[in-house]
Structure 1
Amino acid sequence: MRSDVLQYIRSKPELHKYLRYKPYWYRKLGRDPGLISEMEKEAKYFFGKTFPQRMDRLNNNMNMAMMFLEMMRGFAAPK
């Protein structure tokens, strides 16, 4: 692998971690360094950093908060 590509990957901790998880990227990047953008896209998806994944996580957190509030209202209601 070219030293500039390796330096770029090491400058971004998530990419470096992804490269450790998926070692076939060593071979791919060694043959075609231009695939670094494809690797970044896959790493974003792997770590849940894409916009739809973040929106799903936000939605799940909001639903959990609403359930918690409803549960608290049930406990606080006079009997």
Structure 2
Amino acid sequence: MEPETYHYLQQREDLWSFIRKNPEWYRYLSRDKNRLRELEYTSKQYYGKTLPQRLEKTQQNIQLVQLLMQMAGSMND
């Protein structure tokens, strides 16, 4: 792996831990440093940080709060 790529990964804790859990990425990056963007996207998918995943999580939290509010309202009646 090229030194610049290695140092970049060491600075990004999320990418570093992703590579440790998915060692095939060592090989991919050793062969082609241009796959770094692909690594970042794959890492975001793995950790649930893509925009659709974050929106879905927010929507689930809103639904949970609405359910709790309904339950609290029914207990007061």
Give the root-mean-square deviation of aligned CA atoms: 0.5
Deviations 1:19-50 (Å, cap 9, x if unpaired)? 00100000110011110010001001100000
Identity of aligned residues (%): 29
Residue 15 of structure 1 pairs with residue 15 of structure 2: yes
Give the unaligned 5+ runs of structure 1: none
1:1-79 correspondence to structure 2 within 5 Å: 1-77=1-77
Size of the alignment, in residue pairs?
77
TM-score, structure 1 length as denominator?
A: 0.95
TM-score, structure 2 length as denominator?
A: 0.98
Which structure is larger by alpha-carbon Rg, 1 or 2?
Answer: 1
